[in-house]
A and B are shown apart, each in its own frame.
Chain A
């Protein structure tokens, strides 16, 4: 599992991904960890297949008792099917997840971790000495969906928005935006169901000061590529499976 530091000024943002041991036919995912003081949160900790390499990777940075929070942007298996295993080793942790999915994600196994339902309008989570804003992103693509914004690091964890599908070993960061479009166009058109939801999210996100937009698949967007992405996404017709 490769690890890259995205931010390290008072608190840290790490991205984990491009796992060489990942079984071939499962989609590659990015997992994130934010560490502040003696607390940390894992954002979309991943599927059950990734649990062992993820645990080994996070323990390079924090002792296990300092993993205090989990966040699941939505209910998909690549996001949170490892929950049953985290539940065995993080008995005192809290899982922040859209309220809509509680009865569903519990199917992954959750006897110890505390479920913290996120209301539809969003919330703020305190980790160490920072506040993380849970931004509504409903229908992008899941019907109960949130992103995470850190106003100090100016990073937006954008879940499936900005995701791209590309071969293993791809770089962590988008270089030339126009060359990157092909890798993400179909994903957004097919997975995202609602143009209204998309415009609502863009309006909300444009008000945020973002230096890094970090999706759950593919590469992260930095600097002017963030605005380029928002412009491109705004003009994109989604929900194409229904003619």
Chain B
């Protein structure tokens, strides 16, 4: 497959991966609200968990927001790849026409457009790299959030020991949150590998 075609497809696949990650992040946000409710019911025994539950909520919301932003960037990359694809197709055809045309024809008229398209190609490449870096950074940021959630989940399991009757619920919830964070990490890792392949 042509590089532009690969990039267009990869960007669309990333948008789809992040859409799924966003759905998981929404579940994560609901779970964090549930955690907060249990912590309230557990009262003073679970005071340490209250901060943790708020933290979950905050990270889940940030992840939802980031996933939306990544979707937009991926869509921009996809559109941009199509423009680049068209531009390089035109350039290829003009170079072919130049080679096919006879030296005593009016072929000099083509070179002006070849130069123009090459210049445009450089601008597009520059802009494309900028968008790709933006995408990498955002994906990396989500990965960091997920790593943080992972660490907090371990801490909250330890804290849950002190909550007596609520321990079972809280441990189960922390494991659920950990599982969701892992799912999001998988989607993001897959997105990064798609991006690497298309570059």
Q: Is the CB of B97 within 8 A of A51?
A: yes
**For the complex, is A88 an interface residue (Cβ under 8 Å from B)?**
yes
In the bound assembly, the distance between CA atoms of A65 and B102 in angstroms comes to: 18
Chain B residues contacting A55 (CB-CB under 8 Å) are: 93-94, 97, 101, 110
- Structural contact, B110 and A59, CB atoms closer than 8 A: yes
Main secondary structure of the interface of B (DSSP, over half): helix
Interface residues on B, range: 10 to 19
Given that A51-B97, A88-B113 are contacting pairs, would A56 and B90 also be in contact in the complex, using a CB cutoff of 8 Å?
no
B89: interface (CB < 8 Å): yes
Who on chain B is nearest to A82 by CB?
B93
The complex places the Cα of A89 from the Cα of B105 at a distance, in Å, of: 16
Give chain B nearest CB distance to A81 CB in angstroms.
12
A to B contact number (C-beta, < 8 Å): 53
Using CB atoms, name the residue of chain B closest to A62: B106
Say if the beta carbon of B117 comes within 8 Å of chain A.
yes
Q: Using known A-B contacts A52-B96, A59-B101, determine if residue A64 contacts B90 with beta carbons closer than 8 Å.
A: no
A63 touches B113 (CB 8 A): no
Contacts of B109 in A (CB 8 A): 59, 63-65
A60: CB under 8 A from chain B?
A: yes
A63 and B106 in contact, given A51-B93, A109-B86 (Cβ under 8 angstroms): yes
Instruction: Give the distance in Å from the alpha carbon of A109 to the alpha carbon of B86 in the complex.
Output: 9
Are A89 and B113 in touch, CB under 8 angstroms? yes
Q: A52 to B110, alpha carbons, bound, how many Å?
A: 11
What mask results when residues 98 to 116 of chain B are scored 1 for a CB within 8 Å of chain A, else 0?
A: 1011100111011001000
Q: State the A residues within 8 Å of B (CB).
A: 51-53, 55-56, 59-60, 62-65, 84-85, 88-89, 109
Known: A59-B97, A59-B110, A64-B110. 8 other contacts (CB 8 A): A53-B100, A56-B97, A56-B107, A59-B101, A64-B106, A88-B94, A89-B94, A109-B86
